[in-house]
Amino acid sequence: MSERTARHRHERRRMAIFGNLSELPFPDVISMLGRRCGTLRLSGLDGHADVILHVDEEHLLALHVGPTALRDTARVREVFLDLTRAERGAFEFTRTSPNDTPQHHRLPLNKLLLATTAVIDEIDHYRASLPSADTRFLLVEDPQGTLDAPLQDFLDRTQEHLTLGASATDVARAIGMHVEQAQLHLYKLRALGHITPVRAYSVRSGVSTTPTTPTTPTAAHVDHEDTPRGLIGRLLAALNLRRRAA
């Protein structure tokens, strides 16, 4: 190793910023980087592979989860949500030359953090109303482009699953999203009337009557208990109960 190379590596190491997320949360780490150009590596994250961010001039240029480069902006936002919520994990920032920095994006870091904070605040605001992570939903109405961009993107990525019936846990696993964020999107779609929860099936004589691939909601398995029925709906429900009793 030449003296110049050794000196360069020593200088890079001297300029490294390192610590733990238990002491300095991720948003504060990003703020501390300022306009520096370099690589931020986060390791030891709960339930998450190592994450590497390449930044320059307060912009995110590339993001890797393990060996995989994330080129989808929606996936980048989801990783930022995970990192912002992370309570432990080591971080280390090392300066690099702009010529040595890969570029797949040019996303303002402050806007990514603001969007992440808005999602967290929204989840906390609606937490008491969010559906269970295991409640399955069926798509009953196609919004046909009437949703805002984030909700439309979520529906586009999960429509195949929701057509057959899926929970927040199911779709989060399928598209790599944070479960709470999936719960929030499902809550919004339900409030708009585009999806409906699947009623839990009763098990009689030890045999489950749950269909393996439900395709359309029917009165037998769609839960409308929290939907205003009106007088006629209540009368029909009462008649149905009376028939069962007979």
Q: Which residue has the tokens 């489950």?
A: 208
Higher pLDDT pick, 49 / 10: 49
**Any domain includes 198:** yes
Range of the domain at 156: 130-227
Considering the domain architecture, whether residues 96 and 111 belong to the same structural domain is answered as: yes
d(CA 178, CA 173) in angstroms, rounded, equals 8
d(CA 24, CA 32) in angstroms, rounded, equals 10
Domain containing residue 214: CATH number: 1.10.10
Q: Per-residue pLDDT tens for 67-100?
A: 999 998 888 988 998 899 888 999 999 998 888 8
Q: CA angle at residue 178 from 175 to 183, to 5 degrees?
A: 95
Q: What is the CA radius of gyration of the chain?
A: 24
Considering the domain architecture, whether residues 135 and 215 belong to the same structural domain is answered as: yes
**Any domain includes 237:** no
Higher pLDDT pick, 219 / 37: 37
Q: Per-residue pLDDT tens for 168-194?
A: 999 999 988 889 999 999 999 999 999
Residues 96-111, mean pLDDT to the nearest whole number: 88
Considering the domain architecture, whether residues 118 and 143 belong to the same structural domain is answered as: no
The reply to whether the predicted model has a pTM over 0.85 is no
**Any domain includes 243:** no
Residue 109 Cα to chain centre, angstroms: 18
For 74, phi then psi, to 5°, come to -60, -40
- Examine the pLDDT at 14 and tell me if it is beyond 70: no
**Any domain includes 150:** yes
Our count of domains for the chain comes to 2
